[in-house]
Amino acid sequence: MTDTLVEVQDIKVHFPIKRGVVLDRTVGYVYAVDGVDLAIRRGETYGLVGESGCGKSTLGRAMLKLTEPTAGRVVFDGIDLSAMKGEPLRTMRRRMQMVFQDPMSSLDPRQSVESILVEGMRAHGLDTDRQATAKRLRSLLSSVGLPSTSLRRYPHEFSGGQRQRIGIARALTVEPELIVADEPVSALDVSVQAQVINLLEDLQQEFGLTYLVIAHDLAVVRHISDRVGVMYLGGLVEEAPSDLLYAEPLHPYTRALFSAVPVPDPIVEDRRERILLAGDLPSPARPPAGCRFHTRCPWRQRQRCDTERPALREIAPGHRVACHYAEDIRAGKIRPHAVEPELVEQDVTGGIGPDDPLAGPASVTEALGP
Amino acid sequence: MTARTDKIDKLAQHTARSDAGVSLAAAAWRRLRRNPVFLLGAAIVVAFVVLALLAPLLAPHDPAEPMLGDQVVRARNEIPPSQPGHPLGGDQVGRDLLSRLLVGAQQTLLVGVLATLIGLAGGLVLGTLAGALSGWVDTVVMRVVDVMLSIPGLLLAVSIGSLFAQPNQYTVILAVAIVQIPVFARLLRGSMLAQRHSDHVLAARALGVRERAIVFRHMLPNSLGPVIVQATLVLAIAIIEAAGLSFLGLGNPDDRLPEWGQMLGQAQNVIDSHPELAFWPAGCIVVVALGFTLVGESLREALDPKSRR
Amino acid sequence: MALLEVRDLKVEFRRRGEEPVRAVDGVSFDVQPGQTVGLVGESGCGKSVTALTIMGLLPKRGPHVSGSARFDATELLSLSDRQMRDRRGRDLGMVFQDPLSSLNPVVPIGLQVTEVLERHRGMSRRQATVEAADLLDKVGIPDPRRRLDEYPHQLSGGMRQRALIAIALACRPRLLIADEPTTALDVTIQAQILALLANLVRDTETALIMITHDLGVVAGLCDEVNVLYAGRVVERAKRHDLFAIPRHPYTHGLLSSIPRLDAPRGDRLSPITGSVADNIPWTTGCAFAPRCPNALDVCVEVTPEMTDDVGVPDNRSLRCHNPVERAKRDGEALV
């Protein structure tokens, strides 16, 4: 396809779990991302949603080659990034940027806003003319809604929402085509979240950006995205255009997820039928066999769900689902049933956190227990 | 409408900070200025440094000249007492004690600062190598550092000090400095690793900033806070350890330029009859070490990210 | 009579060398027996400090508390530490945001429950163990007998929160305070915990104060909602009334700035402008005025008082000089 900007093919990111006193030896893997195919079209916003530990952040970082994929390919604008290293990769980074969840920790506290913004331009030789640079910085600041006096200030002097604007401006300095936004608003106050969401939308218009928005908040993702992918335990379980996914979620997990999100409207809340999932997310170090969701799935069928991992298949145009029985569930042929919660032996970290790409071997080691 | 916005602006100005921007260091300094612990420590340190620097001018007499030698009576263990012109009296060979203390301050400062700087420099190099390169470099450096850390500091300093055939001022400094290298190296490496996994370093990498710039512009400067704090504490330790070496006879044998530890070591011969000879240099060491420690601790508190607004 | 009556509660933190910070600035509300009351607001609005003050859990040094919090005709603020501890065991329970840090990491879950039962309900160890297993079962922890011997770190976040709820309910409190109980949890787990809380308060007729920043949580759970801003209650209404006609511009702004799952894609959000850093002190007017699309000159001159709202038929209180008109909600957004 010509309009695909970035594509990942069967990408896997497995973090080794190491233990040992003198010499580390690998005793297992955390299957953070385990075989995902997805393509993002130029100019669209792709939303990736899932709960903590599902691998969505790791996938975002692997797409930017900030985390080295274990297997699979990343193709950006027709260029295979998989084998790319060193200087060529560094040069490529100009075209794909990232916006982080925690606006404070993602800004170097010692740098003034000006030096934060100039850094990327300098790394790619974009700051040749001093006056042009100054002009560009001012126009960027006004694009993200910060006063031009901000340049001489330091990150800790700004509020959370303003810091996130600085982070967004930093990503824009190098004129990227793709921006991966990892939980861009979840650290912000509710009243400020909307400002940043609107800003992201405006900037997409202004600069013709392509977004991958990663979030746990389904409402945010649905609001901002053209297409949405739902992840569960390292795999993509469903993908569809935003409105279609909301109108007709087919995967049991997506259904449960939608039904769990509280809506600020008592009328809706009183009427709605909740699908309460039993138990907890299994550990990504020991994903269940077969369909990863079968331990909690109210629609689980004997045999096949436990043993055969369903592939992501196109059920309607643009609507892909990884469920053996998606058609039967849609037609109402299979009814949900009660599920006994299965005990999940807990990792100390509560699974591999999204902000924790190298979630310390120490903690994961603990998870495996004696 | 305008009346309202005017009023809001006026209220806002009340609370707003200036446009200039306050860097982290400036913010820490603001906090420090109000901290009585820091002020006390800083007062001690400043007094010490000023006295040390001006010692040759301030010292009333030549510290090497036994001008009161005629008052020393070895048989009866007599030492020149306090007298006009010599407020603290003389030492066991009749040299003016006050002058020796003052000039001693200079030598002590020299030992403390040089030992700390050498230790810091060594630690910075090793720590940066380990923290920036990771992999086998990290493993090798850290194993060596661990071995050195497992030996008690003073013992290690004594062992290193005794390696030199002819002890002098600089062997003392070197011995004390080498002991501090692993402390700095491990500290720096630890905070560099924490920085390596921080979001802002990841952000710089995502921007395509070169690896060397990431290390020297982001990781290193942000890791220096604890190292600087440690340096002030090490200054106190270095002074005490240098005193210890002198005391054990591994110090500078040439006593024409006095140093507090050396004075303390020499005073032990007459400590039964004249404890005051030991008291003065020992007291000075304690007060100065305390001063540096107070400054170090309050710096640690001020640079603590948790206390940031 | 109300079970809990909070009147003009003020909490001020004074730190050496800094301006005193008034975290709670005259909060008043009631909780009826068996009622679920929501305290909603963004970070820094004083909702958590209010809860800690009622529970007597503020640090002894530092905060300066005034006002009144009467529980069942007893003034909680004047109780001694010991009396308060006793109250916390018997009448008041609390569930915190971070279950891991509020459970003792080196004591098995079972012991943490039985301890409370033995101390406050005078049970023997044997009785308490049976009751503890029963409680864990009631809060939906599978295989409760085995879990009694496990340590907090062996449980998942959701299970820990359940254990914490079990401990809070062990003494059959008449009032349970839940401070952001689901903020640290994933949505599917949040749904489980909210359903659990709703069932428990219904079955045991416990009154619940739900403290949250999430209006969605409030919409499904609370009978009455207090919206807090900058340390004061700015609007109080019954659940359905509040969401149907938000009258305070802040409440209105919050509701129109949240992306809704059931809203079609492409709707633009109408955020509240600025941030809490723009607030003015309540003493000089309405703290929200600088961010308020409805602000009038009077808003920066006269402090608005909490009054019964005559603009709507329902029974609600409002602290606003120029509330949002009814018609505006459905039509074009303000600003």
Length of chain B: 309
Q: What angle do CA B231, B236, B241 make, to 5 degrees?
A: 110
A227 and A350 co-located in one domain: yes
A364 and A235 co-located in one domain: yes
Q: Shortest Cα distance from A225 to chain B (angstroms)?
A: 23
Pairing mode of beta strands C4-13, C317-318: unpaired
Predicted local distance difference test score (pLDDT) of residue A199: 93
Chain C hits for A157, CB-CB cut-off 8 Å, are: none
Which of A280, A281, A349 is the best mutation test for C, with the most CBs of C within 10 A?
A: A280
A149 and A289 co-located in one domain: no
DSSP string, C266-290: TPPP-PPPS-GGG---GGGS-TTGG
> What is the rounded distance in angstroms from the CA atom of residue A365 to the CA atom of residue A359?
10
C21 and C165 co-located in one domain: yes
Residue at A7 is within a domain: yes
DSSP string, chain B: -HHHHHHHHHHHHHHPPPTT---HHHHHHHHHHT-HHHHHHHHHHHHHHHHHHHHHHH-SS-TT--TTGGG-BTTTTB----BTTBTT-B-TTS-BHHHHHHHHHHHHHHHHHHHHHHHHHHHHHHHHHHHHH-HHHHHHHHHHHHHHHTS-HHHHHHHHHHHSSS--HHHHHHHHHHHHHHHHHHHHHHHHHHHHTSHHHHHHHHHT--HHHIIIIIIHHHHHHHHHHHHHHHHHHHHHHHHHHHHTT-S-S--SS--HHHHHHHHGGGTTT-HHHHHHHHHHHHHHHHHHHHHHHHHHHHH-GGG--
Kindly report the CATH number assigned to the domain that includes residue A202: 3.40.50.300
Chain A hits for B147, CB-CB cut-off 8 Å, are: none
A168 and A246 co-located in one domain: no
C58 and C193 co-located in one domain: yes
Residue at C25 is within a domain: yes
The answer to whether C46 and C23 have CB atoms below 8 angstroms apart is yes
C254 and C221 co-located in one domain: no
Model confidence at A88: pLDDT above 60: yes
The answer to whether B42 and C334 have CB atoms below 8 angstroms apart is no
Pairing mode of beta strands A4-19, A25-41: antiparallel
Share above pLDDT 90 across residues of chain C, in percent, rounded to a whole number:
29
The answer to whether C38 and C227 have CB atoms below 8 angstroms apart is no
CA B152 to centroid of chain Cα atoms: 19
Residue at C238 is within a domain: no
Q: How many CA atoms lie within 13 A of A54 on its CB side?
A: 24
Residue at A222 is within a domain: yes
Q: What is the mean pLDDT of residues C283-303?
A: 90
Share above pLDDT 90 across residues of chain A, in percent, rounded to a whole number:
48
Write down the ipTM of this complex. 0.84
A198 and A331 co-located in one domain: yes
Separation in Å, CA A244 to CA A226, A229, A263, C77: 10, 12, 19, 54
Q: Residues near B170 by Cβ (< 8 Å), separated by ≥ 6?
A: none
pLDDT digits (tens, 9 = 90+) for C138-193: 888 888 888 888 888 888 888 888 888 888 888 889 999 999 988 888 888 888 88
A68 and A128 co-located in one domain: no
Model confidence at C110: pLDDT above 80: yes
Which of C275, C284, C288 is the best mutation test for B, with the most CBs of B within 10 A?
A: C284
Query: What is the domain range of residue A36?
Result: 1-77+177-370
CB contact under 8 A, C300 and B12: no
Q: Say how many domains are in chain A.
A: 2
pLDDT digits (tens, 9 = 90+) for B237-246: 888 888 888 7
Grade residue C73 by pLDDT with cuts at 50, 70 and 90: confident
Grade residue A22 by pLDDT with cuts at 50, 70 and 90: low
> Which of B4, B11, B34 is closest, CB to CB, to C295?
B4
> Which of C157, C219, C261 is closest, CB to CB, to A246?
C261
Instruction: Return the partners of chain B (3 or more C-beta pairs < 8 Å).
Output: A, C
Grade residue B21 by pLDDT with cuts at 50, 70 and 90: low
Q: How many CA atoms lie within 13 A of C326 on its CB side?
A: 8
C269 and C222 co-located in one domain: no
Query: Which secondary structure element, helix H or strand E, spans residue C24, and what is its range?
Result: strand C21-31
A210 and A358 co-located in one domain: yes
Lowest-pLDDT range of A263-272, B39-48, C14-23, C224-233: C14-23
Please give the DSSP secondary-structure letter assigned to residue C311: S
A148 and A185 co-located in one domain: no
pLDDT digits (tens, 9 = 90+) for A96-136: 999 998 888 899 988 899 999 999 999 998 888 889 899 99
Please give the DSSP secondary-structure letter assigned to residue A327: H
CA B241 to centroid of chain Cα atoms: 11
> What is the rounded distance in angstroms from the CA atom of residue C208 to the CA atom of residue C201?
7
Q: Is C327 helix (H, G, I), strand (E, B) or coil?
A: helix
The answer to whether B213 and A123 have CB atoms below 8 angstroms apart is yes
Grade residue A349 by pLDDT with cuts at 50, 70 and 90: very low
Length of chain C: 335
Grade residue A36 by pLDDT with cuts at 50, 70 and 90: very high
Separation in Å, CA B4 to CA A147, B10, C324: 21, 10, 19
The answer to whether B253 and B165 have CB atoms below 8 angstroms apart is no
C187 and C155 co-located in one domain: yes
A166 and A215 co-located in one domain: no
Q: What is the mean pLDDT of residues A319-337?
A: 87
CB contact under 8 A, C277 and A51: no
Query: What is the domain range of residue C300?
Result: 246-328
Instruction: Return the partners of chain A (3 or more C-beta pairs < 8 Å).
Output: B, C
Residue at C105 is within a domain: yes
> What is the rounded distance in angstroms from the CA atom of residue A163 to the CA atom of residue A168?
9
Predicted local distance difference test score (pLDDT) of residue C315: 82
Q: Is C321 helix (H, G, I), strand (E, B) or coil?
A: coil
A72 and A159 co-located in one domain: no
Predicted local distance difference test score (pLDDT) of residue A346: 55
The answer to whether C279 and C287 have CB atoms below 8 angstroms apart is yes
Residue of chain C with shortest Cα separation from A344: C156
C95 and C187 co-located in one domain: yes
Q: Is C18 helix (H, G, I), strand (E, B) or coil?
A: coil
CB contact under 8 A, C259 and A195: no
Residue at C239 is within a domain: no
CB contact under 8 A, B206 and A98: yes
Residue of chain A with shortest Cα separation from B207: A120
Predicted local distance difference test score (pLDDT) of residue A357: 35
Predicted local distance difference test score (pLDDT) of residue A215: 93
Chain B hits for C289, CB-CB cut-off 8 Å, are: 4, 8
C106 and C177 co-located in one domain: yes
Residue at A91 is within a domain: no
Residue at C274 is within a domain: yes
Q: What are phi and psi of B278, to 5 degrees?
A: -85, -35
Predicted local distance difference test score (pLDDT) of residue A59: 94
Q: What angle do CA B259, B261, B264 make, to 5 degrees?
A: 110
Radius of gyration of the CA atoms of chain B, in A: 25
Grade residue A367 by pLDDT with cuts at 50, 70 and 90: very low
Q: Which residue has the tokens 């330091």?
A: A154
CB contact under 8 A, A220 and C155: no
Tell me, yes or no, if B218 comes closer than 8 A to chain A by beta carbon: yes
C132 and C265 co-located in one domain: no
Alpha helices in C16-78 (DSSP H): 47-55
Chain A hits for C142, CB-CB cut-off 8 Å, are: 279, 340-343
Model confidence at A49: pLDDT above 70: yes
> What is the rounded distance in angstroms from the CA atom of residue C280 to the CA atom of residue B12?
8
> What is the rounded distance in angstroms from the CA atom of residue C314 to the CA atom of residue C241?
7
Q: How many of the other CB atoms lie within 10 Å of CB of A205?
A: 8
C45 and C157 co-located in one domain: yes
CB contact under 8 A, A106 and B203: yes
CB contact under 8 A, B7 and C17: no
> What is the rounded distance in angstroms from the CA atom of residue A199 to the CA atom of residue A140?
12
Predicted local distance difference test score (pLDDT) of residue A20: 67
Among C227, C262, C295, residue at a domain's last position: C227
Q: What is the mean pLDDT of chain A?
A: 85
Paired tokens of C259: 């992306």
Q: What is the mean pLDDT of residues B120-142?
A: 87
A280 and A309 co-located in one domain: yes
Q: Say how many domains are in chain C.
A: 2
Q: What is the mean pLDDT of residues B102-122?
A: 89
Q: What is the mean pLDDT of chain B?
A: 81
A235 and A325 co-located in one domain: yes
Residue at C168 is within a domain: yes
* CATH number given to B26-62+89-307: 1.10.3720.10
CB contact under 8 A, B11 and C280: yes
Q: What is the mean pLDDT of residues C216-228?
A: 92
Residue at C181 is within a domain: yes
Q: Is C5 helix (H, G, I), strand (E, B) or coil?
A: strand
Q: How many CA atoms lie within 13 A of C260 on its CB side?
A: 19
Paired tokens of A167: 């982070």
pLDDT digits (tens, 9 = 90+) for B167-220: 777 888 888 888 889 989 999 998 888 888 888 999 999 999 998 899 998 898
Grade residue A21 by pLDDT with cuts at 50, 70 and 90: low
Among A130, A152, A176, residue at a domain's last position: A176
Residue at C237 is within a domain: no
Which of A119, A149, A157 is the best mutation test for B, with the most CBs of B within 10 A?
A: A119
CB contact under 8 A, C188 and A225: no
pLDDT digits (tens, 9 = 90+) for A169-214: 999 999 999 999 999 998 888 888 999 999 999 999 999 999 999 9
Q: Where are the domains of chain B?
A: 26-62+89-307
> What is the rounded distance in angstroms from the CA atom of residue C249 to the CA atom of residue C319?
10
Q: Shortest Cα distance from A65 to chain C (angstroms)?
A: 27
Q: For residue C265, give the amino acid letter.
A: R
- Break chain C down into helix, strand, coil percent, rounded to 5: 40, 20, 40
Model confidence at B298: pLDDT above 50: yes
> What is the rounded distance in angstroms from the CA atom of residue A176 to the CA atom of residue A203?
12
Q: How many of the other CB atoms lie within 10 Å of CB of C282?
A: 19
Residue at A244 is within a domain: yes
Model confidence at B92: pLDDT above 80: no
Among A176, A204, A233, residue at a domain's last position: A176
Residue at A345 is within a domain: yes
Residue at A90 is within a domain: no
Q: Which residue has the tokens 């985390």?
A: A67
C154 and C61 co-located in one domain: yes
> What is the rounded distance in angstroms from the CA atom of residue A245 to the CA atom of residue A243?
5
CA C241 to centroid of chain Cα atoms: 19
> What is the rounded distance in angstroms from the CA atom of residue A163 to the CA atom of residue C219?
31
Model confidence at A329: pLDDT above 90: no
C32 and C169 co-located in one domain: yes
Chain B hits for C300, CB-CB cut-off 8 Å, are: 4, 7-8, 11
C24 and C135 co-located in one domain: yes
Please give the DSSP secondary-structure letter assigned to residue C112: H
Among A176, A202, A224, residue at a domain's last position: A176
Model confidence at B68: pLDDT above 80: no
Q: Which residue has the tokens 């990290």?
A: B138
Predicted local distance difference test score (pLDDT) of residue C50: 93
